[in-house]
Structure 1
Amino acid sequence: MGVVGNVGNENMQACINICVKCTQACEECLTLCLKEEDVAARVKCIQTLQDCIDICCLATKFMVRNSEHAKHICKECAEICEACAKECGMFKDEHCQNCAEICRQCAEACRQMGM
């Protein structure tokens, strides 16, 4: 049983899991975007990926410690994940499309936590 299991919140654990998965997808996408020939066209996407990585890590920390502020962080995380999905979705690379899909899933889970 994990730390969150102590508070009995399966939704929170699911959100933690997708935030970790989203962080990984964004890190991988960022690394690959920096190697693309059209990297200059990806500046906004790269910046959004960095924001998404940071907010997903922060949301994970707040949820793991069952902070009373986790809901607020999750609401912001949902917004940034949606923005990241939109940016990544504009590029046709497999890594960008995969990242966009995971970001959408993370945004949905974080929206549920923010309610």
Structure 2
Amino acid sequence: MPTASPRTRRDNRAVLDALSRCIAACELCADACLDENDPKMMVPCIRLDRDCADVCRLTAAFIARGSDHAQHVLRECIEICQKCHDECAQHQHDHCQQCAEACQACLEACRAYAA
């Protein structure tokens, strides 16, 4: 299997960093949602946070190892990050707003990488 060129590794760094930040923000948001006064109201947010973190982990792994399936997984990641962003942006909690920002940054990085 050919090794990635230095340019490819450098190009991957931005998207891998954005994916990592998104994973952390989603995990923190899901956990913080459980501590809200009415966690039942936050169930859609928690579910999307978990889905987003998981798809970002998978996407990062596929990109890091140069998988032939990275583009397919990347499209799914973009779709789920958008949904997570939209859900979190509706809530005024700081953790939701931070998660929405991380999802937006991840979306931009993923779109740039896919282009």
Same fold (TM over 0.5): yes
For residue 74 of structure 1, report the CA deviation from its aligned partner: 1.1
The one-letter amino acid paired with 1:37 is N
For residue 5 of structure 1, report the CA deviation from its aligned partner: 6.6
For the aligned residue pairs, the C-alpha RMSD in angstroms reads 1.5
Aligned to 2:50: 50
> What SS class does the counterpart of residue 80 from structure 2 fall into?
helix
1:82 aligns with 2:78: no
What number of residue pairs does the alignment pair up?
A: 112
> What SS class does the counterpart of residue 68 from structure 1 fall into?
coil
Residue deviations 1:22-45 (CA, integer Å, cap 9, x gap): 000111111100110121111111
User: Aligned partners of 1:26 and 1:95: how far apart in 2?
Assistant: 9
User: Aligned partners of 2:92 and 2:4: how far apart in 1?
Assistant: 39
The one-letter amino acid paired with 2:42 is R
Report the TM-score, using the length of structure 1 for normalisation: 0.90
- Where do 5+ consecutive residues of structure 2 fail to align? none
> What SS class does the counterpart of residue 8 from structure 1 fall into?
helix
Report the TM-score, using the length of structure 2 for normalisation: 0.90
Runs of 4+ in 1 over 6 A off after TM superposition: none
After superposing the two structures, state which structure 1 stretch, 10-19 or 89-98, moved more: 10-19
